[in-house]
């Protein structure tokens, strides 16, 4: 499929996770160069093994970065610009998800979630923006969540961070709309992960009863939307939240 990505350069944070790897593969298959950022060298090595199996190694550059440290994010973006000369696409996937009732939550738990889930997004957006403004072109795709739209028990910190991503993205979309830069969010529902594999049969039945498509999402279901939002097909879309929930959320 031709999506106008052949000369594009993408930075993906959280690239070594399930959605990150699936997105890296999809963009690279379209000829996009991918600067794949993750906190874990081991996870990046596993991702690059999969990339090699797809024959895409020449298009993917792995880079270790702690996305909660602004200096490291700035260094990562500088390295990408040094290698490829521009940043066409930014995909912020890096995030953390933990269970904790609000009444038991410590400030450290709250802050740690905010550092990873929202501060990292701000750091990367701020770091790539000068190049995108100079080129009058850019696609920024931020990972929110169904929990950021409707809330979730035991996840006030997570839900708050994902709601913040939506608010930040919509405000930024308004600021840069006349500069050729599109900013959109994806709000996934339940996507198959090692965590969902631990759900009890009762939990699975409860969740399935709320999903009209009667299945959990796959990482590639999200990656397909990222691929579209990174492409020229999304040129007239900005400030939107795309719910990838199998129909759980409908507006």
Give the Cα separation of 80 and 26 in Å (integer). 19
For residue 48, CA distances in Å to 60, 62, 64, 137, 150 come to 8, 8, 13, 28, 36
pTM of the entire structure? 0.95
What are 72-88's pLDDT values in tens digits? 999 999 999 999 999 99
**Any idea which of 1-5, 146-150, 227-231, 232-236 has the lowest mean pLDDT?**
1-5
What are 94-134's pLDDT values in tens digits? 988 777 787 887 989 988 888 899 999 999 999 999 999 99
Residue 39 lies in a domain: yes
E strand or H helix at 115? none
- Which one-letter DSSP state was computed for residue 218? P
State the total domains in the chain.
Answer: 1
CATH code: domain of residue 91: 3.40.50.720
Residue 57 lies in a domain: yes
Residue 228 lies in a domain: yes
- 158 an active-site residue? yes
pLDDT of the residue at 142: 98
Find out whether 90 and 125 touch, Cβ atoms under 8 Å.
yes
Mean pLDDT computed over 26-31: 97
**Can you say whether the dihedral through the CA atoms of 14, 51, 23, 222 is positive or negative?**
negative
Residue 97 lies in a domain: yes
Residue 251 lies in a domain: no
**Can you say whether the dihedral through the CA atoms of 149, 238, 227, 27 is positive or negative?**
negative
Find out whether 120 and 165 touch, Cβ atoms under 8 Å.
no
Residue 166's domain comprises: 9-243
Q: For all residues of the chain together, what is the average pLDDT?
A: 93
Give the Cα separation of 90 and 185 in Å (integer). 12
**Any idea which of 38-47, 89-98, 222-231, 234-243 has the lowest mean pLDDT?**
89-98
Residue 248 lies in a domain: no
Residue tagged active-site, from 61, 97, 158, 236: 158
pLDDT of the residue at 195: 67
Residue 13's DSSP bridge partners are 37, 92
Residue 4 lies in a domain: no
Cβ within 8 Å of residue 125, ≥6 positions away: 90, 92, 140, 142, 168, 172
Residue 189 lies in a domain: yes
């Amino acid at each position: 499929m031709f999506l106008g990505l052949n000369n594009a350069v993408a930075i993906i944070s959280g690239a070594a996770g399930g959605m990150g790897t699936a997105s890296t593969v999809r963009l690279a298959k379209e000829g996009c160069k991918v600067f794949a950022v993750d906190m874990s060298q081991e996870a990046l090595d596993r991702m690059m093994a999969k990339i090699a199996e797809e024959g895409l190694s020449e298009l993917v550059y792995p880079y270790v970065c702690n996305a909660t440290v602004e200096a490291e994010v700035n260094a990562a973006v500088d390295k990408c610009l040094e290698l490829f000369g521009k940043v066409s696409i930014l995909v912020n996937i890096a995030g953390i998800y933990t269970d904790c009732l609000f009444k038991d939550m410590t400030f450290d738990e709250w802050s740690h979630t905010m550092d990873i889930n929202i501060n990292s997004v701000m750091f990367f957006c701020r770091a790539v923006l000068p190049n995108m403004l100079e080129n009058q072109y850019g696609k920024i795709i931020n990972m929110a969540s169904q929990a950021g739209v409707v809330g979730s028990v035991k996840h006030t910190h997570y839900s708050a961070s994902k709601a913040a991503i939506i608010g930040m993205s919509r405000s930024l979309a308004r600021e840069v709309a006349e500069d050729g830069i599109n900013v959109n969010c994806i709000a996934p529902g339940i996507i198959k992960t090692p965590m969902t594999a631990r759900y009890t049969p009762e939990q699975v039945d409860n969740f399935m009863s709320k999903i009209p498509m009667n299945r959990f999402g796959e990482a590639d279901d999200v990656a397909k939307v990222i691929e579209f939002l990174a492409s020229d097909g999304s040129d007239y879309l900005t400030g939107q939240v795309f719910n990838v929930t199998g129909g759980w959320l409908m507006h």
